[in-house]
């Protein structure tokens, strides 16, 4: 979705937006507060780069939590996410392309397994909502 152009991007965005209901977004409030509190609690009083130590981790941790990634897999999720955006608008050497592709494949494998689990065991969560989202002719796309 990040690298797709319209109309493919538009189709994906419409599909994903169906899962981000007002209720789902509101449910993230306590999670985001807990993430922020956890980050601040980790500060030991020594000088730090606030942007790197606080601002950068919040979006990735929030997305991971919204997708149901357990805390013990956060480092993997961060690595996968970084790999996914590494090649966007950048010049990479061969190893950089390989590392980026490997990270993306690992993330795809992880979420394919999680989605398969949700198909068999639906839950009240975002991944189950994503599975349930379907495009219709009213979405302005064919098929």
Provide the residue ranges of all domains of the chain, joining segments of one domain with +. 8-139
Q: Does 8-139 carry CATH code 1.10.1040.10? A: no
Pair 83, 103: CB distance under 8 Å: yes
Backbone CA torsion sign across 92, 98, 101, 102: negative
Whole-structure pTM value: 0.79
| pLDDT tens readout for residues 6-55 | 887 888 888 788 778 898 889 999 999 999 999 999 999 999 999 999 99
Query: Would you tell me how many other CB atoms lie within 10 Å of the CB of residue 28?
Result: 16
């Amino acid at each position: 979705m990040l690298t797709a152009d319209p109309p493919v991007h538009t189709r994906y965005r419409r599909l994903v937006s169906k899962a981000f209901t007002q209720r789902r977004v509101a449910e993230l409030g306590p999670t985001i507060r807990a993430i922020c509190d956890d980050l601040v609690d980790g500060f030991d009083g020594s000088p730090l780069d606030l942007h790197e130590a606080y601002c950068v981790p919040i979006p990735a941790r929030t997305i991971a939590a919204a997708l149901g990634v357990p805390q013990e897999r956060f480092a993997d999720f961060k690595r996968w996410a970084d790999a996914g955006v590494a090649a966007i608008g950048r010049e990479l050497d061969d190893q950089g392309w390989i590392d980026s592709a490997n990270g993306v494949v690992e993330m795809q494998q992880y979420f394919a397994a999680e989605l398969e689990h949700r198909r068999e065991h639906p839950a009240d969560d975002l991944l189950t909502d994503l599975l349930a989202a379907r495009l219709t002719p009213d979405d302005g796309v064919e098929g």
